[in-house]
Copies of this chain bind each other. A is one copy, B any other.
Amino acid sequence: MKKRRKSGRVTLSDVAREAGVSPITVSRALRSPGMVSKEVVKRIEQVVGDLGYVPDPAARALASQRTDVIGVIIPSVTNNVFSDVMRGIYARVEETNYRIQLGNSRYSQKEEEKLLQTFVSQRPAGLMVSGIDQSDEARQILEDVACPVVQIMETGPDPVDMMVGFSHRDAARAAAEHLIAKGYERIGFIGARMDPRTARRLEGYREALRAAGRYDEGLERTTAQRSTVTLGSGMLLELKAGRPDLDAVLCNNDDLALGALFACQRQGISVPDEFGICGFNDLEMMAASCPSITSVRTYREEMGVRGTDMLIQAIEGGRSAEANVDLGFDVIARESTARREQGGEKG
């Protein structure tokens, strides 16, 4: 008679006693009901309900060496882009017994590494990380971990395990080509929060401009600052002050694009006739603004859903056929780049 630590919790053994079976049978009835006779399962479920039994995830994790936790690491909890991805992830996970453990790397490789280490110590069922720019150490952790891994947000040639995303470079190139096709001559680029994804967008922009023979280093403006609408206004004004002949801008994201539009409105610059603006991500507001803003639509919620899907499939045995999914993008042309016929060539 020396019960030392009682927790007051209803345990599996309590249920077993009440149902007149052994604890392991209760465990089986709850985990794999197929192994237990129908009547016993029913009786156990009844008792579980009556007693209000809730399994202890810690005990289960310890005994079985695995959890229902899917670890997700994103660089920002505030950025709309990642909220959309999260929405997809939560939507997909809600129908299941998996739980999401969210980590916020704040765009830092070191943070990401630390988070990975913590997550891995929890024996996750699966891991999801953003992008393809992990540190060597982080990549090593991911390659060694005993669970499926999905990289989301980008495509690339060399996934750790699985991957779902799109090519930022191609998307930005397509956007720049759109501006060129619309007849804009001096097309600038503004980018904030210069992480590797953004850098690849810049590359795409450069490719398009070089191909058109219009590349000019002075038309780019980037900053490490977190991007905001206000910053978009400021960067556009600065860029245009330095290059008065600038007649269009490709923005690294929609916040900047909206800021650029507001700046034009304040300056009395007519969009799209005098000046073209193209955003990136196609947030909902781009369609609503006046004028509406051309942007590159990406499939973020879908990315979350698919990524989670691939993870769950891999966890539960049947690896999905495709391990490297490109969800693509679409340039959605709107008023902000619908320039009317313009006479003067400059070149």
- CB pair B100 A102 closer than 8 Å: yes
Question: Which of the 9-residue segments A82-90, A148-156, A272-280 touches chain B?
Answer: A82-90
Q: Which of A51-78 contact B (CB under 8 A)?
A: 54-59, 61-62, 65, 67, 77-78
- CB pair B230 A287 closer than 8 Å: yes
CA distance A284 to B287 in the complex (A): 19
CA distance A59 to B61 in the complex (A): 8
Question: Which of the 9-residue segments A116-124, A216-224, A238-246 touches chain B?
Answer: A116-124
Asked if A167 is at the interface (CB within 8 A of a chain B CB), the reply is no
- CB pair B62 A62 closer than 8 Å: yes
Q: A61-B58, A78-B84, A121-B55 are in contact. Are A228 and B266 (CB under 8 A)?
A: no
- CB pair B121 A255 closer than 8 Å: no
The count of chain A contact residues (Cβ–Cβ below 8 Å) is 50
Q: A61-B58, A101-B101 are in contact. Are A78 and B67 (CB under 8 A)?
A: no
CA distance A77 to B87 in the complex (A): 6
Q: A77-B87, A87-B78, A102-B100 are in contact. Are A58 and B123 (CB under 8 A)?
A: yes
List the B side residues contacting A232 at CB < 8 Å: 288
- Specify how many copies of this chain sit in the oligomer: 2
List the B side residues contacting A228 at CB < 8 Å: 284-285, 288
List the B side residues contacting A342 at CB < 8 Å: none
Q: A58-B58, A90-B77, A121-B57 are in contact. Are A285 and B258 (CB under 8 A)?
A: yes
Closest-CB distance, A327 to chain B (whole angstroms):
19
Which single residue of chain B is at the shortest CB-CB distance from A56? Answer: B121
Quick one: which of B94, B255, B285 contacts A229, CB cutoff 8 A?
B285
Q: Which of A255-284 contact B (CB under 8 A)?
A: 255, 258-259, 262, 265-266, 284
- CB pair A90 B104 closer than 8 Å: yes
Asked if A96 is at the interface (CB within 8 A of a chain B CB), the reply is no
Closest-CB distance, A188 to chain B (whole angstroms):
19
- CB pair A54 B117 closer than 8 Å: yes
- CB pair A122 B58 closer than 8 Å: yes
Q: Hey, which bits of chain A sit against chain B, CB under 8 A? A: 5, 7, 54-59, 61-62, 65, 67, 77-80, 83-84, 86-87, 90, 94, 99-102, 104, 117-118, 120-123, 228-230, 232-233, 255, 258-259, 262, 265-266, 284-285, 287-290
Query: A7-B65, A57-B122 provided; 12 other pairs, C-beta below 8 A?
Result: A54-B120, A58-B61, A58-B67, A77-B86, A77-B90, A90-B104, A99-B101, A230-B284, A233-B288, A258-B288, A262-B290, A265-B290
